[in-house]
């Protein structure tokens, strides 16, 4: 597709360098600095949903949540003001949305027809890639301009992009602007669908489990009654809401397949895997199996709270459900994703009462796999909560 490579697609030494650089931008100190940007985006989400509630219109859940995640990543990771939540015009998110489905289709295409003949969809994809790369180059140029005016940003970068540019400008860094752009694009893509889809599934599951919804709402309203100025410390108290996120990812992992490739010949169990073979890890098989946990198909966030030794015992649900992957390539955005999810849920549950979450035909939301696993057609109606 002609996209520059970022940490997601890099391997070997290039991956090691890029991974170090990306991880530095996600450390807790940096996330704390970015937090006000997340609060701003959450207040825009509240304003968008207040409007829909006042007009009693259906909210296209996934589309609104994607706007929330794109605006968040752009603000947090690149220091860029992207405001898709307050605009219905041609926004970057509409172009980004074309990339993952196209990538997924091309990976499985038996014949790469686009190399010989450009269909209307191929031409549209090309135009979308152009729009996205123009935006990405714009983020890089804005960051460079900020750093020129304020050189202290080289030693004390305030976001991931500034940290990447500072690293790239070191002599012998092995990094260049194309790798920086590749990682800006990677963050946008990796951080958009995954978090938005998980949130959409979570709201769907909460609606179908009223007791859990009531408990999550109670916890939130106890920690912060109006939810509009939730601090990082208050976010840390949302244990039940966080358990709801983990339980959602157990039942509806948005990355249910994890493709890996062996670097050298390896034996797993009694299976010999030659070097270079692709193995697709099925991430949901065991996490919904009665062999590993009771009531495996039920939505029970409590199972994440009641463990004596979470994370270590072999039977621990944390060892069985691995929605963020595992090992050296484990998702670097996992803490940020959880923070975003808690912030969106705080906005929803503290400021609104949910009236309905359904699909237009009233059927169970269908799972659609297009690189990430997406719920199809979920829509929500809200009523603004009156705060006394």
Q: What is d(CA 218, CA 235) in angstroms, rounded to the nearest whole number?
A: 14
Q: What is d(CA 322, CA 293) in angstroms, rounded to the nearest whole number?
A: 14
Residue 62 binds ligand HEM, judged by CB under 6 A: no
Q: What is d(CA 248, CA 288) in angstroms, rounded to the nearest whole number?
A: 11
Residue 136 binds ligand HEM, judged by CB under 6 A: no
CA distances from 12 to 2, 25, 155, 263, 366 (A): 21, 21, 27, 10, 38
If you write DSSP's letter for every residue of 77-128 in order, what string do you get? HH------TT--SS-HHHHHHHHHHHHHHHHH-SS-GGGT---HHHHHHHHH
Residue 37 binds ligand HEM, judged by CB under 6 A: no
Q: From the list 92, 337, 357, 365, which residue makes contact with ligand HEM (rule: CB under 6 A)? A: 337
Tell me how far, at minimum, the Cβ of 321 lies from ligand HEM, in Å: 11
Beta bridge partner(s), residue 257: 282
Residue 139 binds ligand HEM, judged by CB under 6 A: no
Q: From the list 16, 123, 315, 329, which residue makes contact with ligand HEM (rule: CB under 6 A)? A: 329
Cβ-based neighbours of 95, under 8 Å, separated by 6 or more:
127, 128, 129, 131, 132
Q: Which of residues 354-383 bind ligand HEM (CB under 6 A)?
A: none
Question: For residues 53 and 238, which CB has a smaller minimum distance to ligand HEM in the complex?
Answer: 238
Residue 74 binds ligand HEM, judged by CB under 6 A: no
Among 139, 165, 138, which residue's Cα sits nearest to residue 151? Answer: 165
The mark string for 83-102 relative to ligand HEM (x by CB under 6 A, - otherwise) is: --------------------
Tell me how far, at minimum, the Cβ of 333 lies from ligand HEM, in Å: 2
Q: What is d(CA 235, CA 257) in angstroms, rounded to the nearest whole number?
A: 30
Question: For residues 34 and 49, which CB has a smaller minimum distance to ligand HEM in the complex?
Answer: 34
Cβ-based neighbours of 266, under 8 Å, separated by 6 or more:
272, 273
Tell me how far, at minimum, the Cβ of 372 lies from ligand HEM, in Å: 8
Residue 164 binds ligand HEM, judged by CB under 6 A: no
Q: From the list 37, 129, 190, 220, which residue makes contact with ligand HEM (rule: CB under 6 A)? A: 190
Size of the site for ligand HEM (CB under 6 A): 27
Residue 187 binds ligand HEM, judged by CB under 6 A: yes
Q: From the list 198, 347, 350, 374, which residue makes contact with ligand HEM (rule: CB under 6 A)? A: 198
């Amino acid at each position: 597709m002609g996209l520059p490579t970022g940490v997601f697609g890099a391997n070997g030494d290039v991956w090691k360098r890029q991974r170090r650089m990306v991880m530095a931008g996600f450390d807790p100190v940096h996330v704390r600095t970015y937090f006000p940007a997340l609060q701003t985006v959450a207040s825009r989400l509240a304003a968008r949903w207040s409007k829909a509630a006042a007009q009693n219109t259906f909210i296209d859940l996934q589309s609104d949540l994607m706007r929330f995640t794109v605006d968040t990543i752009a603000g947090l990771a690149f220091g860029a003001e992207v405001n898709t939540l307050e605009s219905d015009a041609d926004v970057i998110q509409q172009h980004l949305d074309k990339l993952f489905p196209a990538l997924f289709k091309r990976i499985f295409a038996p014949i790469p027809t686009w190399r010989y003949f450009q269909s209307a969809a191929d031409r549209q994809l090309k135009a979308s890639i152009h729009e996205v790369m123009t935006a990405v180059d714009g983020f890089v140029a804005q960051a460079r301009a900020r750093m020129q005016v304020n050189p202290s940003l080289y030693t004390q970068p305030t976001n991931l992009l500034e940290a990447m540019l500072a690293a790239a400008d070191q002599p012998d860094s092995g990094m260049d602007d194309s790798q920086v752009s590749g990682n800006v694009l990677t963050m946008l893509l990796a951080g958009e669908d995954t978090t938005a889809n998980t949130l959409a599934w979570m709201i769907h599951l909460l609606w179908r489990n009223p007791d859990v919804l009531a408990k999550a709402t109670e916890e939130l309203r106890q920690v912060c009654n109006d939810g509009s100025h939730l601090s990082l410390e208050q976010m840390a108290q949302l244990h039940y809401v966080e358990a709801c996120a983990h339980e959602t990812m157990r039942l509806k992992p948005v990355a249910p397949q994890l493709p890996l490739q062996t670097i050298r010949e390896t034996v797993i169990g009694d299976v010999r895997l030659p070097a270079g073979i692709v193995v697709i890890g099925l991430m949901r098989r065991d996490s919904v199996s009665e062999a590993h946990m009771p009531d495996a198909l039920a939505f029970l966030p409590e199972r994440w709270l009641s463990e004596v030794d979470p994370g270590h015992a072999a039977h621990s649900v944390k060892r069985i459900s691995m929605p963020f992957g595992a090992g050296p390539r484990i998702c670097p955005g996992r803490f940020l994703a959880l923070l975003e999810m808690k912030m969106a849920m705080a906005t929803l549950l503290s400021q609104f009462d949910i009236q309905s979450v359904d699909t237009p035909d009233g059927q169970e939301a269908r799972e659609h796999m297009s690189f990430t696993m997406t719920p199809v057609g979920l829509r929500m109606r809200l009523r603004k909560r009156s705060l006394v």
